[in-house]
Amino acid sequence: MYKLAIFDGKPLFADELCVNRPTIGNRSTFLNRVEKMLDSRMFTNSGPLVRELESKLAEYLGVKHCIATCNGTMALQLIMKALNLTGEVIVPSFTFIATAHAVSWQGLKPIFCDVDIDTNNIDPVACERLINKNTTAILGVHLWGRACDIEKLQSLADKYNIKLIFDSAHAFGCSHKNKMIAGFGDAEAFSFHSTKAFHTFEGGAVTTNNSEIAQKIKRLRNFGFVDYDCVDGIGINGKMPEVCAAMGLTNLESFSSSLTNNKKIYDEYKKLIAGLKGLSLHTYDETEKNNYQYVVIDVDESAVGLSRDNFIEILHAENIKARKYFYPGCHNMQPYISNNDTNKLNLLNTRFLSHRLMVLPAGSSMTIAQVNKVGNILKSIIGQSKLIKSKLEALN
C-alpha cells in the first residue's frame, strides 16, 4: 500500500501540480509580436494589438462588440456603471469573491441567492423571491463554463424591468443552445486571468450586442474621454495593455488545440473517477461547447469515509494542489458575513456544494501520465480510507 506523504511518505510529485496553469501558445510568435510592439513604442491606450484582439474575439464569439479590459473584475464594474445600476443586485453566493466585490465596489448591495444543486448556477426560482423595488439587476455566473438558465433569467429581467448581466469568467469558448456565451443578457464580462482557459496574463472583456452600452463602456474604460479634450462623466482606467493583447492574440491562435488537450485530460479523469466509490466528476453537456478547464469532483463523505477537506489535506501533502473553489460561499466571507441581513441567510445548496466540491489540477500543463498518478492515489486513499481517517484523527 502506498505510503502517503501526510504520514511521512515521499510526496508523489516533486513539483506542485496546480489547477489551471497558464497556456503560452507559440512562444516565438508571441515574442515577435512583443518585438514589434517595442519598436512601435505603442504600449497602451487601445493600440493596434488590443484592437486586433477585440475584433478577433468578437468574431470568434459571434458578438457585435468586444471591449478589452485590464481584468474581469473591471469588466463587471464597467457594465454595472454603464447600466446606471442603483440599489440591489442579485448574485449567486457560490462564486469567486470578485463577483460580489465588483457589485459592492460600485456602491451597490449584493443580494446573495442560492444555486441549483445540479448546475451550480443561480437558481431562477430563488432569484425571483429576492426581487423587490430596490432590485436593478440580476448578475448570473456561468460557473465552470456551464451556462445559467438564461431563458428563465431573461424572462425575470423582462417581467420586473431590470437588467441581466453575466459573469462569464469561466465560460470562454463555451456555448448555450449552440450560441457562444458572450451575447446574452445586457452584457457579459469575461476574465482573461492567467488561470483561465484563454488568457492575456491579466485581462478581461465586456461583450454585448447593444451598441449603446458598448460605446459607453469604451468611454468609461478610458477615464470618460469622448474626444481628446472632452470628458463626459466619471470614467476609470480599465484599459488592457498591448503586451497583454499580444499574449491574447497568440493564445487565440492555439486555443482550439488547448481545448482538445483540456478535453483529453478531462476524459482521462472521467475514466479514472468512474470506478471510485464516493467520488463523482461534474459532467458537461456534450451537445454544447465547454472549455473543460475545471475538473470538479464531488466528495460524498458518507460513502468514502473521508471528507472533502481530508482529501485536500492528503493531496496537498503529495504536491497535488487541489482547490476548494468556492468555499465557503461569498455570503460567508467578509464584509458580507458581518452584515445582519446576510449572516442569517440559509443557502442550503451553497453550503452543501462548498463543503463537498474540490477542483483537481487540469488544463494545459497536465499530462495523461500525471492524471493517472492522481487517479491512482485517489484509488489508494479510498482503499485505505478507514485507516487514514483514524490516523488523521490521531494527528489532529
Binding site for ligand T4K (CB under 6 A): 18-22, 71-73, 95-96, 98-99, 141, 167, 169-170, 191, 193-195, 204, 321, 325
Rounded to the nearest whole angstrom, what is the least distance from the CB of residue 69 to ligand T4K in the complex? 9
Residue with smaller CB distance to ligand T4K, 148 or 259: 148
Q: Say how far residue 221 (Cα) sits from the centre of its chain.
A: 22
Rounded to the nearest whole angstrom, what is the least distance from the CB of residue 127 to ligand T4K in the complex? 17
Q: Where are the alpha helices (DSSP H) in 106-145?
A: 124-130
Rounded to the nearest whole angstrom, what is the least distance from the CB of residue 54 to ligand T4K in the complex? 17
Max CA separation in the chain (angstroms): 72
Instruction: Name the residue number minimizing CB distance to ligand T4K.
Output: 72
**135 within 8 A of 113, measured Cβ to Cβ:** no
Q: DSSP string spanning 243-301?
A: HHHHHHHHHHHTHHHHHHHHHHHHHHHHHHHHTSTTEEE----TTS------EEEEE-H
Rounded to the nearest whole angstrom, what is the least distance from the CB of residue 50 to ligand T4K in the complex? 16
User: For strand 88-92 and strand 135-141, is the pairing parallel, antiparallel, or unpaired?
Assistant: parallel
d(CA 252, CA 57): 8
Residue with smaller CB distance to ligand T4K, 72 or 248: 72
Residue with smaller CB distance to ligand T4K, 73 or 120: 73
Residue with smaller CB distance to ligand T4K, 185 or 204: 204
Residue 257 CA neighbour count, 13 Å, CB half: 9
Residues 212, 196, 51, 45: is their CA dihedral positive or negative?
Answer: positive
C-alpha cell at position 116: 441549483
Residue with smaller CB distance to ligand T4K, 79 or 304: 79
C-alpha cell at position 267: 476524459
For residue 188, which of 212, 164, 216 has the smallest C-alpha distance?
A: 164
d(CA 272, CA 35): 44
Residue with smaller CB distance to ligand T4K, 22 or 87: 22
Rounded to the nearest whole angstrom, what is the least distance from the CB of residue 13 to ligand T4K in the complex? 13
C-alpha cell at position 345: 441567510
Cα dist. 287→56, 174, 179, 184 in Å? 25, 11, 11, 19
Rounded to the nearest whole angstrom, what is the least distance from the CB of residue 55 to ligand T4K in the complex? 21
Residue with smaller CB distance to ligand T4K, 148 or 156: 148
Rounded to the nearest whole angstrom, what is the least distance from the CB of residue 31 to ligand T4K in the complex? 18
Rounded to the nearest whole angstrom, what is the least distance from the CB of residue 340 to ligand T4K in the complex? 26
Collapsing DSSP to helix, strand or coil, 361 comes out as coil
Collapsing DSSP to helix, strand or coil, 168 comes out as coil
Residue with smaller CB distance to ligand T4K, 282 or 382: 282
**121 within 8 A of 90, measured Cβ to Cβ:** no
Residue with smaller CB distance to ligand T4K, 15 or 39: 15
Rounded to the nearest whole angstrom, what is the least distance from the CB of residue 255 to ligand T4K in the complex? 17
328 cis-preceded (ω within 30 degrees of 0) = yes
C-alpha cell at position 93: 453566493
Residues 337, 342, 346, 351: is their CA dihedral positive or negative?
Answer: negative
Rounded to the nearest whole angstrom, what is the least distance from the CB of residue 20 to ligand T4K in the complex? 5
